[in-house]
Amino acid sequence: MPGGVNFSVYASDAQRVELLLYDDADAATPARRIDLSPAAHRTWHYWHVFVPGLRPGQLYAYAAHGPFDPARGLRFDGYKVLLDPYGRAVALPSAWSRAAGCTPGRNDAHAAKSVVADDSAYDWRGDAPLRRPFSQTVVYELHVRGFTRHPSSGLSTARAGTYAGLVDKIAYLLDLGVTAVELMPVFQFDPQDAPAGLTNYWGYAPVSFFAPHAGYARAAAAPLAVLDEFRDMVRALHAAGIEVILDVVYNHTAEGNEQGPTFGLRGLDNATYYLLEEGGRYANYSGCGNTLQANHPVVRRLILDSLHYWVQVMHVDGFRFDLAAILSRDKHGRPQPDAPVLWDIESDPVLAGTKLIAEAWDAAGLVQVGHFIGERWKEWNGRFRDDVRSFVRGDAGMVTQLADRLLGSPDLYGARPREPAQSINFVTSHDGFTLHDLVAYETPRNEANLEDNRDGSRDNHSWNCGAEGETDDAQVRALRDRQVRNLLAITVLSLGTPMLAMGDEMGRTQRGNNNAYCHDAPWNWLDWSRLPHQAGLHRFVRELVALRNLRESVREDHRLTLAELMRLVRVQLHGTRLGAPDTSAASRSLAVTASSLSGDLLMHFALNAQAQALDFELPPLPALALGPWRRVLDTSYDPPQDLHAVRHVQDIDAAPLAPGPHYRVQGRSVVALFVRVGSAAPRTASAVAGPAAPDQGRRMS
């Protein structure tokens, strides 16, 4: 405010609060202490003071005094420097120390400080969130540092691994065809929250819900410049038509369990901010030591205010909520069917045009995939990931599940008014094997994590194609390449919103580590030198996304729900014989025929997960077909014959012919045949030829 700064902090059980002002981040003592008296500076549970003469850039923190009684949930320590939960920027000392927050005594020289910032001090030049429909969205999950940090990125040392470095790769993202980047956590986090000698690289260890991570900025030591660099990145991505989705962590903090450090919330109001069990122990539904009490009114307000800030001030387009199922838990840790914080987010007018994506499970076994609260939330579809992996691997009894995943998971989302893009379809993400490793390893190689290879998921649905790890066997390598393209084709062309993981399009590997959260190292960064060696795979992904975008452009009114869409356009399921899908346990094949909603395209997909080739009957063409079936996709072919480039509907006519009445689908292959249909074709199921039994019919676009 003019003439100074107003400070306010919630600390309901504190007996005394101090505002600490610092001259620099490394200061061992405050330059000024302002003692907040209960009589003059406390209103209900808020401690507040106006300090004239202060300006943006001022470093500050709090000290809260009160009883230390963990059994009652009280953990006050007046010696500890506490971050402002609403601080817009964070200044890090050169000797930042997690350990200093755990041990007795003062930690000023080792503690992060909050920084006064002016929210309006940036020229957005007319920028605003893009609000692209989910039906037109292709998500690319990436790590801001890891995306460009490797020397092979071609960026200068100053820009590599930064928000600015991401801007330098916008042309690459546009060429790939993605429309949204989903950034792994960019809230300021504790890089020391990792096994001794390692680094928390992923960032799921927040210490602030408002400040962007300073370590991703060129000027990390200049907190206000960090804000500008983040906003420069958002503005540049928007100018290119790419949305920014943040992976947000509102389920726990870096303060950890009873042995963890005191950074802020624990020292201000431990019993308000955290779920506590008997004896004051921290409930651990996050797997990270503590769990935020998200449905407490004060914490609910903190979460909403944080979301508002990132949308209104930082202009982001959406959020992916880490372990979102935790947010449904009440003060006793029990899931609630109508969790207040989730309804707050669902119904909030500021967030009305914002993308909301839930990771609809938590680390304690609560799974809400398919029935997450509300109407707006999209979901990371873990069922899609596991079922598609299992089918492509060749598991028995997966045909029925695969059909549901191809058609937008109507078994999960068809009963409620959900748009077809409800399901976020993915087979890989930051969490688990990369796509290259998924077809090269059956056992995680996590020894480098210093947990005796006991961490990371054991249930990966992976298959090494005949040899564990890297191999020179040409047949194994060829099979792996085909399996990678099979997984990508299903992910991108299935009904739903596709998500790709950073570097899968160029065969990125983590050497079999499926939990590489603690390695800020070259082998864990995106190695751009792989790109020329994986030109065929990169082209495949680029043209696959283009094909998907073409299909979306002619088929979908994004206002339709999944159920409405299924009523409008007939989908037929087949096996090797038309109209006769084989759903037995022994079956490993499926075919699907569908028309676009507009009737301009007829599409036939055939999937064969067994080792031997199969002959699939082809549907007869409708009377208005503009030619024969054309082979647009066949993963059994070597690049570039595996996928015909289709950027316009007319390009289909140049694809190789696929004359009927059968098409031989090679073992472990995915095929897509297309034909254009004349403009007089109706927008109904009659555009699809051939009979379908009532229990075999599916409807999709």
Which residues lie below 8 Å from residue 697, measured CB to CB, with a gap of 6+?
570, 571, 572, 573
Beta strands (DSSP E) in 138-248 are 139-142, 180-183, 243-248
- Minimal CA–CA distance to 113: which of 200, 252, 257, 221? 221
CA distance 351 to 348: 5
Active-site hit among 322, 387, 481, 520: 322
Task: Reply yes or no on whether 527 is catalytic.
Answer: no
Q: Using an 8 Å Cβ cutoff, are 515 and 446 in contact?
A: yes
Active-site hit among 359, 362, 431, 634: 359
Q: Using an 8 Å Cβ cutoff, are 594 and 688 in contact?
A: yes
Q: Is the dihedral of CA 75, 81, 87, 93 positive or negative?
A: negative
Strands 139-142, 497-501: pairing kind: parallel
> Looking at this protein, which amino acid is placed at residue 224?
L
Backbone angles phi, psi at 574, to 5 degrees: -135, 165
Residue whose token pair is 């005394």: 16
Helix (H) / strand (E) element for 273: namely helix 265-273
The encoded tokens of residue 503 equal: 């570097």
CA distance 359 to 320: 7
CA distance 316 to 231: 9
Task: Reply yes or no on whether 322 is catalytic.
Answer: yes
Beta strands (DSSP E) in 84-127 are 89-91, 113-115
| SS3 state of residue 405 | helix
Count of alpha carbons within 13 Å of 154, Cβ hemisphere only? 8
CA distance 280 to 257: 10
Catalytic residue ranges:
322, 359
